[in-house]
Structure formats: structure tokens, C-alpha cells
């Protein structure tokens, strides 16, 4: 990957303006080394080149120097269409940790019944199921032809969209899922007494929410 491509990716991914010195530090280990001043010059030249490329009329975004750093932003002439797009976005989903724990059980054990979910978690999950249905993250599948005819639950397309998955076969390990949850919902999580998601294959008592950790 070229130096310019690396810098472009860094500026794109940065949530806040990133300085020239920060960029130099990030790319120095992946370059051929050499003089520090020379690398700094190369980085500056690459940034200037990228800025010029994005400045052409046919591009919708630009690289701007803001507060001593660089960041990508939409061009002023595109603000109206971007504003309209932002208004069309769905509001962020707010879920408690018990809801996320239940969602994880359904994702990894689907299709699954409420009694099975409750057994794995060690607590009644009926109320949480209603929340997940309301958020359209899960849906009903079929009823099992046994006494009581319990309903089976599974995840939805909305679940895949929220977690950036092609299908359920792309579900990561439980540890990776916890990280994915944190990255996907970030500050949208509601505070709740609970613990990290336990493996759906664990014993009920092991899957119960631990009291020594809160959201």
C-alpha cells in the first residue's frame, strides 16, 4: 500500500482532526525508514496531494485542515442532501445489557424458545424478548409441536444490518461479539446491572448476570 493510500485511510477513519505529527508516527513503522524529517516532508506532500485530488469539482467530500489537524468532511454544496439523509436515518437503538445478553443467546442458538433462553441466562427473559421484538432485532419463527407449543425466535435482517453481517454464519466468537456490541452501540447502551455475555453453551448458573459489574 502506498504512503498516500495509508494517509487517506487514516484521515478517513479519524473521528477528530488528526495532526501531521500523529500521521507521521502512525506510518513510520510501515515505511522504509530513513530520515525523520524526510518522512515528515513525504507525509506533508502526500496530504497536499490528497487535498488537491478531493478539491476537484466532481468530488462530494474534501480534506480540510481544522484545529491544527486534518479531517474529511462534506463539501458545503452537498450539505443540503447530507442533512436530508441524516434526517432519514433511524434513531439509535438503546438496549440494556440484559437485552444484549438475550440477543446474543438467540443469535448463537437460533431458533430458540423463551424457556431455553431463560435456562441459559439463569433468569426469566420474557420481558426482554418483548423489547427485542419491538426493536425488530428478532422475530418469531414457528411453534414447536410439543406440549404448550412454545414459539421459536430468531434474528432478523435488521440484526444483520446493525452488526454489519452478511448472514448469521459470519457471527464471530463470543469474545469478538462482545467487542462488536460495544462498537456498534457505543454510548447508546442504557445503564443496567449486569455482566458480560456468557457462552450460550454454559450452565444456567454460569450464564446468570454477575452482580459485580454494571453497564
- Tell me the per-residue pLDDT of 124-159, one tens digit each, with 9 for 90 and over: 888 899 989 998 999 998 777 777 678 999 999 888
| 200 burial type by CB count under 10 A (0-12 exposed, 13-18 middle, 19+ buried) | buried
Instruction: Please state, rounded to an integer, the average pLDDT across all residues of the chain.
Output: 80
Report whether pLDDT(103) > 80: yes
Q: Per residue in 106-140, is it b (16+ CB within 10 Å) or e — as a string?
A: bbbbbebbbebbbbbbbbebeebbebbeebebbee
pLDDT the model gives residue 37: 87
The secondary structure of the chain, three-state, reads: CCHHHHHHHHHHHCCCCECHHHHHHHHHHHCCCCCHHHHHHHHHHHHHHHHHHHCCCCCCEEEEEECCEEEEEECHHHHHHHHHHHHHCCCCCCCCHHHHHHHHHHHHHCCECHHHHHHHHCCCCHHHHHHHHHCCCEEEEEECCCCCCCEEEEECHHHHHHHCCCCHHHCCCHHHHHHHHHHHHHHHCCCCECCCCCCCCCCHHHHCCCCCCEC
Terminal-residue alpha carbon distance, the chain: 40
Report whether pLDDT(191) > 90: no
Higher pLDDT, 166 or 195: 166
Q: What is the pLDDT of residues 61-93, one digit of tens each?
A: 999 988 889 999 999 899 889 888 888 877 767
Amino acid at each position: 500500500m502506498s504512503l498516500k493510500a495509508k494517509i487517506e485511510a487514516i484521515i478517513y477513519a479519524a473521528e477528530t482532526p488528526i495532526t501531521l505529527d500523529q500521521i507521521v508516527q502512525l506510518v513510520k513503522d510501515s515505511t522504509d525508514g530513513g530520515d525523520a524529517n524526510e518522512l515528515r516532508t513525504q507525509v506533508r506532500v502526500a496530504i497536499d496531494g490528497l487535498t488537491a485530488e478531493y478539491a476537484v469539482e466532481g468530488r462530494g467530500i474534501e480534506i480540510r485542515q481544522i484545529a491544527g489537524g486534518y479531517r474529511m468532511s462534506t463539501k458545503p454544496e452537498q450539505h443540503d442532501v447530507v442533512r436530508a439523509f441524516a434526517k432519514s436515518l433511524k434513531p439509535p437503538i438503546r438496549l440494556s445489557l440484559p437485552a444484549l445478553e438475550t440477543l446474543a443467546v438467540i443469535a448463537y442458538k437460533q431458533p430458540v424458545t423463551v424457556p431455553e433462553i431463560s435456562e441459559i441466562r439463569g433468569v426469566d427473559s420474557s420481558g426482554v424478548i418483548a423489547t427485542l421484538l419491538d426493536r425488530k432485532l428478532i422475530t418469531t419463527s414457528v411453534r414447536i409441536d410439543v406440549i404448550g407449543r412454545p414459539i421459536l425466535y430468531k434474528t432478523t435482517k435488521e440484526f444483520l444490518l446493525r452488526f454489519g453481517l452478511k448472514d448469521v454464519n459470519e457471527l464471530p466468537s463470543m469474545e469478538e461479539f462482545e467487542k462488536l456490541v460495544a462498537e456498534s452501540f457505543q454510548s447508546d447502551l442504557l445503564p443496567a446491572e449486569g455482566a458480560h455475555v456468557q457462552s450460550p453453551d454454559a450452565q444456567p448458573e454460569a450464564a446468570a448476570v454477575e452482580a459485580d459489574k454494571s453497564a
